[in-house]
Each structure stands twice: as C-alpha cells, then as structure tokens.
Amino acid sequence: MVGSRCGWECPEDFSQWSDWLAAGLHARNRWRLPVLLVGILFATGRRTVTTWLRAAGVSPDFQDYYYFLDPLGRNAKIVAERLVALLLVKLPLPPILRLVIDDSPTKRYGPKVEGADIHHNPTPGPADQTYLYGHIWVTMSLALRHPVFGAVALPLRAMLYVRERTIATIPAKRGWKFATKLVLAARLVQWIMPMLKSAGKAIWIVVDGGYTKKPFLRPVGGVIRVVIVKEAHTWHAFFSTDPNVTAVEILEAFADRATIEQDFHDVKEVWGAGQQQVRNIWTNVAVYHLNLWMHTLVELWAWDRPHHELCDRRDSPWDDADRRPSHANRRKALRRAILQKQLSQFAATKRLPKKFLELTQRLLNLAA
C-alpha cells in the first residue's frame, strides 16, 4: 500500500488502482510507481522529479527512483494496457468508443536533452514565439460524455516523435528508431484495437487534417463519406471511413476532438508536463506518461462524485457556483480527501481542542 511507503493514506479505490497499474512492472521495483503517483499529486511549484519525491516523503533512496524511470519508460505500453483494462471495468463506457489522436509539444530547457529539437509552437502567446525547443508527443485519449459535466477525455498513451536528423544524437544503447508522426499514430491505433474489440467495443478514431494521409489511413482504405460545412467566407470538409454514418455523427465526432486540446492544457498547466528536466529519452517517456496517467486516474476517481464534493466555491461568491469543476478542481478534491482522512484518523486517537481542529481544517483547505 502507498501509505506504508510514503506516509500518505490514499482512498482505497485510488490505492488499488495504483497497485493495479504497477503490477505489470518488475516485482523488485513496482512498488515505486504508486509512491511516485502520490508525489505527483501533492507536488507544488516547479514540478521536477525532485519535487515529486519531496512531496512523497522520499529521501534516503531518492536516486533509485531516477533509475526506476528508465525501465518505466521502456514499459509504458504495459502500464497503459492495464490503465485501459481498468477503464473498461470501472466506467460505464458506451458501445462505440471515440479515440482522439493529436500531437503537442512540451518545452524543455538545458543541453543534452535526448530527442529534443526545435519545433513549431502551436500556442505562441503574448511573446509571439513561433518556435520552441522541446519534445513532440503523439497522444491518444479516450473521449467520453460525463452524464453531468459533459465532454471529457482520458489520456491513455503517447509516443515521442523524434526528427530523423536528431536520431544520431541519441546514444545507440537506447535503441531508438525513427518514425514519422503518422506512423506513430497508426501504431497507437494498432496497439489499442485488439483490447477494445475483445471487450466488444466498436472504435472510432478522430483526428484532424494533419493525419488524413496515406501512412495513417492505409490500413482502413475504401469508400468514405464526406461532409462539407459552409460558412460565410469559407468552408470545411470532414469525412468518415465508414460511409454508413450520418453527417451529424461525423460532426459530433469531430467536435469531441477538442477534448484532447483540454488534455494537453491540463497535463501541462495542472501537472507540469515538460518541467521534469530529465535527459535520458526513456526517462522522458516515463515522466510524460506519469502526468498522463495521473490525469486519467484523477478523472476516474472523480467520475461518480457530486459537484459539491469536487468544487466548493462558497469562498468565491463572484464565481459561478454551478460551473463545471475543472480538472484542477478534481485534483484538489482528491488531495483534500487524503488530507481530511489523515486528520480524521489523528483526531480519533487524540482529544484535540475544537479551535485546533478548525484551524487545521482551514489550513488544509488552503493547502489543497
């Protein structure tokens, strides 16, 4: 259990899910994964691996966790498969699943970051930075409709795109091979299709125009249905490789593609993807996936919880009390649940003054 390793007593379901994901790793070190996940949850400020370890209460064997990240990156596929299996069991998934694929960069800094290069910046910001130095991640998310909160997407797995010219800078012992973004996207589809089909699910893959090219579409081929949307001064074309679907279904599917953009925002802004500042390419794969998996685990934990438990805006009367909880709200709710559980356990064993408990509760609210 996580509590025995790092001092945090997680909710039973979250702890079981962490152990489930770790069970696919080598028995000698698998226990480190749940500890890292809790550290990621409670880390604040700049989200380096050191910050994760500090938040988890790791100090004597901190170096072993850095060594653990390399094999974790090499085995990200195994952990991601267990995450998919977990979602299939725990969520009321529809018969047709929509999987969204897109790519997004994470900024990096410093020399000798394996696989990093100069890439186009999709969000230049006020400084109008056309390019950035970092990694490009071809990412797959499961797009769902929450019964109360609407469209959400759960990140599952990503593949790191490295330019062909950059491959020579990566040590040969890493075993890294060049593949285009289209090929990486196709590999993600080939990876997940057998699992979902064996679960009796039909699959729709939703991508933007950048992926509508031969290397990605070759496996499906055949007749397509095209929908053209006319606007005042332009037009847009959307298509499906299934000619039997309706125009409405095609447009609704593409609308769900926007959910992965929110994933990219949350993974970077809420979890700090790209801030870990590790250099080994497989370690980079590991830390990016840890951010993805924490996103999905938090969404899974919050799925059946009521609005008031996930988001209390009584201290913010200027805000809309009924507004959908953000992913940051869900993360804070999980942190708050863990802190309150430990406070309750402590209070149950000791007779504490009421004022002390009230002050502690206020501090916990601020900390969460």
Asked if residue 170 belongs to a domain, the reply is yes
Same domain, 99 and 218: yes
Same domain, 339 and 222: no
Predicted confidence (pLDDT) per residue in 156-172, tens digit: 999 999 999 999 999 99
Predicted confidence (pLDDT) per residue in 19-56, tens digit: 999 999 999 999 999 999 999 999 989 999 999 999 99
The answer, yes or no, to whether residue 4 has pLDDT greater than 50, is no
- pLDDT category of residue 315 using cuts at 50, 70 and 90: low
Same domain, 234 and 145: yes
The answer, yes or no, to whether residue 356 has pLDDT greater than 70, is no
Same domain, 262 and 322: no
Same domain, 108 and 247: yes
Stretch 334-352: mean pLDDT, rounded? 74
Same domain, 117 and 249: yes
Asked if residue 111 belongs to a domain, the reply is yes
Asked if residue 194 belongs to a domain, the reply is yes
Same domain, 178 and 255: yes
d(CA 167, CA 272): 26
The whole domain housing 311 covers 307-368
User: How many structural domains are present in the chain?
Assistant: 2
Asked if residue 48 belongs to a domain, the reply is no
Same domain, 208 and 341: no
Asked if residue 197 belongs to a domain, the reply is yes
Asked if residue 288 belongs to a domain, the reply is no
Same domain, 267 and 323: no
Asked if residue 117 belongs to a domain, the reply is yes
Asked if residue 56 belongs to a domain, the reply is no
Predicted confidence (pLDDT) per residue in 165-192, tens digit: 999 999 999 999 999 999 999 999 999 9
Stretch 349-365: mean pLDDT, rounded? 64
Predicted confidence (pLDDT) per residue in 96-123, tens digit: 999 999 999 999 887 789 999 998 887 7
